[in-house]
C-alpha cells in the first residue's frame, strides 16, 4: 500500500512500504531504483519529473523494513492533468555485495496528481507484499497520515477566517460610502419603493405568524366570540381576508405565470432539439464551389471594415492591429477607424496608431466626429455617408474589443457569392476572459447558448436572427434598402436586422468562424450592458409593430417575429422570471392558500438550466450558481423591459461597456512582429510641429498613468429582495416546506452577494 500526500503546492509524496523475505539485519542503506515507462519514454527534462532515491534501512531492522521513495514533479514545467502515467519501479537491494531482485515489478498509476490525495500501489503478482498484515504491523504510519491530513485541514481555518474578515471589511466600507456613490441618490425608482414596501409588510407578517405559531393559533380556527385578545382577533380576520380575497387573485396570477413559464420552456426545448438535429445531420452553411477558388478575381470583392469606438483606451490598439492584418488584397480593403472619443490625448493616440499602420501599406482612415450624436448608430451612419463607400460591396463591423483572425474575410465573404438575397453573415463570439471570475463564467454559459443554439437554429430554419452588432459582414445594398443605421433606439443592430428581414433579405450564421472579444468583468458593467440589451428591444417593438403587420413577408414570419422573437424571448421571459420567483413565491409563504408546486421551483428550472449549459459542458460545476444568478438578473431585465416598453428615461441611456484590454496568447504572437513603440514615435515626431511634440509628451504621460477603477458599490434593489426572500424563507420554516425553504434561502443569499457586489471584479 502506498499513499500520495499533496503539500498544497502541486507536489506529491509517494510513501511506499515494501515487505519481503531474505532481508537480513546486516543490510546497507544503499538502493538503486530504475524507472521505466510502460507505454512511452518520458524525458525528465521535458515532463519535469525528478526522481529522488531516499531509502533508509536501519541496521537493526525487522524482516519487513519500510522503504521510502520520494517522487516530486514540477507543475511549472508540465501539466499532468490530462493523462495518466504508468511507471514500473524495479527495486534492487544491494545486500553484502549481492543484488536481490524484487519478486515482481510494482506499477504506480498517477492520474491528475494535482487533485488526487490518495493513490494505491498494488503488486499484482505478490499479494503479500502490501498486505493488510503489514499495514497493521505499523500503525504509526497511518497515525502520521491522519495527523498530516488534520494539519492540512486546520491550515485552511486561517485562510477562511482571513477571507471572512476581508469580506466583512469590504462590505462595511461599501456601506459607509454607499451614499457618496449611489447609482440613484435622489430617485430610487418605483420598483425599488415597491420592493421596500413589500419587505416591510413581509417582516411585520412574519412576526405576527411567529407569535401566532407559538400561541398555536394556526392549529384551529376559533369562533369570533371565543377570541381572547385583540391581536388574536386581528390574526383571525387576516386569515379570513386572505382566504376569501387575496388567495384567489394570487392563484390566478400564479397559474398565468406558470403557463408562460411552460411556454417559454417548450420554446427552449424546441431550440435545443433543432440544434441537436443540426449536429446529428452535420448541417452547416454551404459555400458555392466556385466561390472557394482564389484564382477567381471576383473572389475578392471590395470590402470596407469599420471599427467604431468611444473612449476605449485599453483595447483600441489590439483591435486596429488585428483588423489591419486581415488576409485580403490591400487594394480591395479599406479600414475605417470611427473614433468618438472626447479625450484629446486619446484621439491623438488612436490617430498615431492608424498612422503607423498606414506607413506599412495598410489602406486605413481615421475619422472623428465633432458633433457626436446618436451614439454608435450615429457614428456608423456618418461613416456610411462618405463618397468612397459606394465603391465597396460589403462592410464588416468590429467593436473595439474584437480581434478577428486573419482569415475572417475569407471564411465569411464567400457565403455571399451566388446568393444575391443574402444580406448578412454573422460570426460567433469567443471570450478571452471567460475564466477570469465567477461572473464571466456565468456570462459565458448564456452567450454560448445564444450563439450555439438560438442564432444557429434561427439562421438555418428561418434565415433570420438578431444582428449582434459586431463580428458580422453586411451587403451594403441591404443596408441601404433597409434605411441604413437609425438612432431611434439603443439596439441599432437589432433595428437594422428587423428592417432588413422585412425587406426580404436573408441571414447566414457561421458558427465555425469565431472572433475573440471581452466579457465585462465587473457587475456594474454587466448590469448596464444587460439594461441596454433588454430595454432596447421593447423600444424597437413599439416602433416596428406597425411595419411588421403591414409588411409583405409571410404570415408565418410575421408571427415568428411578433410572438417568438419579441414577445416570448424579450418580454415574457424577464416578466415571468421576476414575477414568479421574486414576487409570487415569497407571497405564497405568507398566503399558503395559493401554493406554488415544487416542480415549478426546482425540477423544471434545473432541466432548463442543464439545457442552457449543454453548449458549454465545462461549465456544469456552475449549474446551481447559474440558475440562482439568472433569477437574480431578472430584476435588472424586468426593470429594463418596463422602461423600454413605457418609454421611461433610463431606456435611452447608452453606457459604453467597460473593457480591460486582455489579450490571448494568439494575439500576443500576432503582434510580436510589430515594430517597437519607440521607432513609431520617432517617425511620428519627425512630422510634428513644436506643439505636436508637446502633445506627444502628454500622450506618454497619459500612457504611463494607470487608469483608476471605480470602486464596488451597493445595489439597493438586490439587497431589498435579498432580505425579502430570506424573510419568506424564515416563514416557510413554520409550514415545513422543504424545497421552498432551501430555494428561498439560497436565492436570498445570492441576491445578498450580488447586492453587496461580491461577484465579479473586486476593486480594493
State the Cα–Cα distance between residues 416 and 413, nearest whole angstrom.
6
- Asked if pLDDT for residue 41 goes beyond 90, the answer is no
pLDDT band at 752 (very low <50, low <70, confident <90, very high): very high
Give residue 67's pLDDT. 39
Give residue 113's pLDDT. 44
Q: Measuring CA to CA, which residue among 403, 516, 422, 430 is closest to residue 473?
A: 422
Q: Give the residue-averaged pLDDT of 440-461.
A: 96
Chain segment 113-147, per-residue pLDDT in tens: 444 444 444 444 444 444 454 545 467 777 777 77
State the Cα–Cα distance between residues 604 and 141, nearest whole angstrom.
50
Give residue 467's pLDDT. 97
The conformation of residue 122, written as its DSSP 8-state character, comes to B
- Asked if pLDDT for residue 373 goes beyond 80, the answer is yes
Give residue 563's pLDDT. 95
Contacts of 550 (CB under 8 A, 6+ apart): none
State the Cα–Cα distance between residues 432 and 402, nearest whole angstrom.
10
Q: Which residue blocks in 646-715 are alpha helix, DSSP H?
A: 665-670, 677-686, 690-704
Give residue 134's pLDDT. 52
Q: Which of 123, 493, 495, 757 is catalytic?
A: 493
- 361 — alpha (psi -120 to 50), left (phi > 0) or beta? left
Pick the residue with more confidence: 207 or 256?
256
Q: Which of 66, 123, 340, 401 is catalytic?
A: 340
Q: What percent of the chain stands above pLDDT 90?
A: 52
Going from the C-alpha of 23 to that of each of 70, 89, 124, 126, 691, the distances in angstroms are 22, 19, 21, 16, 89
Going from the C-alpha of 583 to that of each of 395, 635, 725, 737, 751, the distances in angstroms are 46, 11, 9, 17, 14
Q: How many C-beta neighbours within 10 Å does residue 579 have?
A: 19
Give residue 296's pLDDT. 53
| Rg (the chain; Cα; Å) | 33
pLDDT band at 753 (very low <50, low <70, confident <90, very high): very high
Q: Assess whether 493 carries a catalytic annotation.
A: yes
What are 646's three cell numbers? 413605457
Q: Give the residue-averaged pLDDT of 371-376.
A: 88
Give residue 70's pLDDT. 36
The conformation of residue 432, written as its DSSP 8-state character, comes to T
Give residue 21's pLDDT. 39
Q: Assess whether 340 carries a catalytic annotation.
A: yes
- Is residue 441 within 8 Å of 521, Cβ to Cβ? no
The b-or-e profile of 50-71 (16+ CB within 10 A means b, else e) is eeeeebebeeeeeebbbbbbeb
Give residue 40's pLDDT. 39
- 309 — alpha (psi -120 to 50), left (phi > 0) or beta? beta
| Sign (positive or negative) of CA dihedral 569, 572, 575, 581 | negative
Average pLDDT score over the chain: 77
Give residue 359's pLDDT. 94
Q: Give the residue-averaged pLDDT of 441-461.
A: 97
Give residue 288's pLDDT. 80
Tell me which H or E stretch contains 308.
strand 303-309
Chain segment 475-501, per-residue pLDDT in tens: 999 999 999 999 999 899 999 999 999
pLDDT band at 291 (very low <50, low <70, confident <90, very high): low
pLDDT band at 334 (very low <50, low <70, confident <90, very high): very high
Show contacts of 695-703: CB within 8 Å, 24+ apart.
695/344, 695/345, 695/348, 696/348, 698/345, 699/345, 699/348, 699/349, 699/352, 702/345, 702/346, 702/349, 703/349
User: DSSP string covering 485-538, please?
Assistant: ---SSS-HHHHHHHHHHHTT-EEEEEEEEEEEE----BHHHHHHHHHHHHHHHH
The total number of residues written for the chain in this structure: 764
Chain segment 652-704, per-residue pLDDT in tens: 565 666 666 665 544 444 444 444 444 444 444 444 444 455 555 655 555 55
Q: Is the full-model pTM beyond 0.85? A: no
- Is residue 756 within 8 Å of 748, Cβ to Cβ? no
Give residue 16's pLDDT. 40
Amino acid at each position: 500500500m502506498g499513499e500520495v500526500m499533496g503539500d498544497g503546492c502541486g507536489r506529491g509524496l509517494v510513501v511506499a512500504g515494501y515487505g519481503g523475505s531474505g532481508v537480513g539485519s546486516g543490510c546497507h542503506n544503499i538502493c538503486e531504483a530504475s524507472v521505466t515507462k510502460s507505454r512511452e519514454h518520458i524525458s525528465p527534462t521535458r515532463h519535469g519529473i525528478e526522481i529522488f532515491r531516499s531509502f533508509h534501512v536501519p541496521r537493526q531492522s525487522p524482516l519487513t523494513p519500510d522503504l521510502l521513495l520520494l517522487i516530486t514533479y514540477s507543475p511549472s514545467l508540465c501539466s499532468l492533468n490530462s493523462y495518466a502515467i504508468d511507471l514500473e519501479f524495479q527495486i534492487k537491494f544491494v545486500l553484502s555485495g549481492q543484488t536481490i531482485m524484487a519478486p515482481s515489478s510494482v506499477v504506480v498509476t498517477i492520474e491528475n496528481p494535482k487533485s488526487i490525495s490518495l493513490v494505491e500501489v498494488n503488486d499484482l503478482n505478490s499479494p503479500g507484499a502490501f498486505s493488510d498484515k503489514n499495514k497493521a504491523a505499523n500503525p504509526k504510519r497511518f497515525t502520521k497520515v491522519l495527523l498530516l491530513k488534520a494539519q492540512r485541514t486546520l491550515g485552511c481555518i486561517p485562510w477562511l477566517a482571513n477571507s471572512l474578515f476581508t469580506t466583512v471589511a469590504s462590505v462595511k466600507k461599501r456601506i459607509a460610502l454607499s451614499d457618496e456613490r449611489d447609482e440613484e441618490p435622489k430617485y430610487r425608482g418605483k420598483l425599488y419603493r415597491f420592493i421596500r414596501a413589500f419587505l416591510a409588510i413581509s417582516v411585520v407578517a412574519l412576526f405576527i405568524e411567529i407569535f401566532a405559531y407559538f400561541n398555536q393559533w394556526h392549529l384551529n380556527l376559533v369562533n369570533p366570540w371565543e377570541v381572547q385578545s385583540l391581536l388574536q382577533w386581528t390574526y383571525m380576520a387576516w386569515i379570513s381576508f386572505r382566504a376569501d380575497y387575496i388567495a384567489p387573485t394570487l392563484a390566478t396570477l400564479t397559474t398565468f405565470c406558470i403557463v408562460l413559464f411552460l411556454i417559454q420552456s417548450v420554446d427552449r426545448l424546441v431550440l435545443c432539439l433543432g440544434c441537436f438535429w443540426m449536429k446529428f445531420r452535420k448541417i452547416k452553411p454551404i459555400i458555392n464551389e466556385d466561390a472557394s477558388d482564389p484564382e477567381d478575381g471576383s473572389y475578392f470583392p471590395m470590402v470596407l471594415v469599420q471599427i467604431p469606438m468611444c473612449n476605449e483606451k485599453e483595447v483600441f490598439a489590439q483591435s486596429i492591429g488585428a483588423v489591419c492584418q486581415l488576409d485580403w488584397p490591400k487594394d480591395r480593403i479599406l479600414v475605417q477607424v470611427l473614433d468618438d472619443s472626447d479625450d484629446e490625448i486619446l484621439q491623438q493616440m488612436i490617430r498615431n496608431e492608424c498612422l503607423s499602420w498606414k506607413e506599412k501599406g495598410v489602406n486605413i482612415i481615421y475619422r472623428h466626429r465633432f458633433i457626436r450624436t446618436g451614439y454608435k448608430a450615429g457614428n456608423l451612419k456618418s461613416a456610411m455617408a462618405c463618397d468612397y463607400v459606394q465603391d465597396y460591396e460589403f462592410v464588416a463591423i468590429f467593436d473595439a474589443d474584437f480581434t478577428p483572425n486573419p482569415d475572417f474575410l475569407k471564411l465569411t465573404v464567400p457565403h455571399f457569392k451566388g446568393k444575391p438575397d443574402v444580406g448578412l453573415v454573422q460570426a460567433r463570439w469567443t471570450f478571452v476572459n471567460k475564466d477570469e471570475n465567477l461572473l464571466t463564467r456565468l456570462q459565458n454559459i448564456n452567450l454560448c447558448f445564444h450563439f450555439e443554439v438560438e442564432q444557429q437554429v434561427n439562421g438555418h430554419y428561418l434565415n433570420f436572427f438578431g444582428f449582434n452588432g459586431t463580428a458580422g459582414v453586411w451587403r451594403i445594398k441591404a443596408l441601404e434598402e433597409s434605411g441604413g443605421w437609425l438612432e431611434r433606439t439603443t439596439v441599432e443592430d437589432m433595428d437594422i436586422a428587423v428592417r432588413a428581414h422585412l425587406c426580404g433579405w436573408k441571414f447566414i450564421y457561421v458558427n465555425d468562424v469565431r472572433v475573440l472579444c471581452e466579457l465585462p468583468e465587473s457587475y456594474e458593467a454587466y448590469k448596464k450592458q444587460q439594461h441596454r440589451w433588454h430595454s432596447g428591444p421593447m423600444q424597437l417593438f413599439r416602433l416596428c409593430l406597425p411595419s411588421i403587420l403591414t409588411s409583405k413577408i409571410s404570415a408565418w414570419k410575421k408571427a415568428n417575429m411578433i410572438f417568438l422573437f419579441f414577445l416570448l424571448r424579450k418580454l415574457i421571459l424577464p416578466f415571468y422570471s421576476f414575477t414568479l420567483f421574486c414576487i409570487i413565491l415569497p407571497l405564497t409563504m405568507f398566503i399558503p392558500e395559493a401554493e406554488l408546486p415544487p416542480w415549478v421551483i426546482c425540477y423544471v428550472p434545473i432541466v432548463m438550466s442543464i439545457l442552457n449549459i449543454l453548449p458549454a459542458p465545462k461549465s456544469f460545476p456552475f449549474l446551481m450558481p447559474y440558475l440562482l444568478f439568472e433569477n437574480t438578473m431578472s430584476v435588472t431585465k424586468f426593470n429594463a423591459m418596463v422602461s423600454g416598453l413605457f418609454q421611461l428615461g433610463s431606456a435611452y441611456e447608452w453606457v459604453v461597456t467597460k473593457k480591460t484590454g486582455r489579450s490571448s496568447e494568439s494575439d500576443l504572437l500576432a503582434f510580436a512582429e510589430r515594430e517597437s513603440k519607440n521607432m513609431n514615435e520617432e517617425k511620428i515626431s519627425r512630422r510634428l510641429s513644436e506643439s505636436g511634440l508637446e502633445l506627444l509628451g502628454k500622450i506618454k504621460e497619459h500612457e504611463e498613468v494607470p487608469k483608476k477603477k471605480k470602486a464596488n458599490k451597493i445595489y439597493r434593489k438586490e439587497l431589498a429582495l435579498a432580505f425579502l426572500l430570506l424573510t419568506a424563507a424564515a416563514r416557510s420554516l413554520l409550514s415545513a416546506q422543504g424545497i421552498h425553504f432551501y430555494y428561498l434561502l439560497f436565492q436570498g443569499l445570492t441576491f445578498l452577494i450580488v447586492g453587496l457586489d461580491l461577484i465579479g471584479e473586486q476593486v480594493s
